[in-house]
Amino acid sequence: MSRARRPSPGRASSRQWQYLAVLVLLLVAVLWQRSGLPEPGGEVTSPERTATPTPAASASGSSSSARPSPTFSSGAFAPAVVISATPTGMEVARVVQVIDGDTVRVELDGRRSLVRYIGLDAPEVESTRQAGEPGGNEATAFNQEMVAGREVHLERDISDTDQYGRLLRYVWVDGVMVNAELIRQGMADGREYPPDVRYAGWFYDLEGLARREGLGIWSR
């Protein structure tokens, strides 16, 4: 009488390990698919990040809700920095002279005063006191196009005037902050002049955009 041959213990153990390996591979494949990760060797892509700058509260204590957050819209050179409504709680003046890319003369409360834009530095234009710098004429012309003869809103930060008696202001016209637009179009570079740094981070981001796109002074 013949006896049934029992499988070798070693051979059975080998098959068990093979089955276990297959199960593990299947489990890994299912988990990988559910996780949404790309296949090995595939390209990893990420969505573009878009930041919307938000103005801080004004020196008068009004909150940002009084002035809607700036957004981007199409402009002649690059997206213009605009807000969705006319700023409130600011001084209203009329520009009577454009001095250069970052300074204008305005008529305010029946008086004429110089206004120095906060948070930027535009190239100098040639005068009897100083030599001109590359980009100075372009920055002045750009500023002229934006504000000459226009009604503007003046936003104060911390300081009222500088050491030369000029008013220090953020200048808005038709919902566009001129300071930011000059930086965005590469007509000026952003500068921090403490304590007036309300929009310093925003200006830094705008300068980065102008640099990457090679606009204005960054095209040289």
Q: Which of the residues are catalytic?
A: 116, 124, 166
Residues 6+ apart with CB under 8 A from 98: 104, 105, 140, 143, 144, 147, 148
Name the strand (E) or helix (H) holding 171. Answer: strand 167-173
**Amino acid letter at 95?**
V
The type of residue at 194 is: P
CA distance readout (Å), 62 to 140, 146, 161? 32, 27, 21
